[in-house]
Amino acid sequence: MTHSINQPWAITDKFRNRYGNTWADLDFVFNDKISAEVFQEDPMNTIIGKLEICNQRIELRFKDLIMYAKTIGEKYDTIISEKASKTDTFLVDIKSFTFTLNRHEIGRLAETLSESHQVTLRSYELGLYL
């Protein structure tokens, strides 16, 4: 079973037309099996899942997830505080990929990464190990 944060297959055409395909298709999909032993031995280097953005799948380790959740969140906060226009675009670097995203797409990305980080922590605390 696929463990997805945003479940893009459930987004209606109304939202897809309003926010665009990049926003609608953005998702984080967890690996099917993350063993308790691997996560317990070396949690920071455990591959948690894949970020799906702009038709790219980027594999993220737990340390990557933490770092990008923080940096993209800070970037979004800066964009909002500077009152950037809805039509302005910004460069976002994730691993070796560079994406040009607008304000609401960066917001969705920040939210997705943050939720993925929280789900990973809660799953480990509850002993679910995804």
CATH of the domain at 68: 2.30.31
Average pLDDT over residues 113-117: 94
- Distance from C-alpha of 130 to C-alpha of 124, rounded to nearest angstrom: 8
Average pLDDT over residues 4-9: 87
Tabulate helix, strand, coil % of the chain (nearest 5). 50, 25, 25
Question: Quick one: pLDDT at residue 42?
Answer: 83
Output the furthest CA–CA distance in the chain (Å, rounded). Answer: 47
- Distance from C-alpha of 33 to C-alpha of 47, rounded to nearest angstrom: 10
Question: Quick one: pLDDT at residue 10?
Answer: 87
CA 85 to chain centre: 23
Domain hosting residue 15, numbered range:
3-126
> Could you give the number of structural domains in the chain?
1
Q: Give the bridge partners for 28, in sequence order.
A: 51
Question: Quick one: pLDDT at residue 97?
Answer: 95
**Burial tier of 18 (Cβ tally within 10 Å: 0-12, 13-18, 19+):** exposed
pLDDT digits (tens, 9 = 90+) for 67-92: 999 999 999 999 999 998 888 999 99
Average pLDDT over residues 59-68: 95
Question: Quick one: pLDDT at residue 28?
Answer: 95
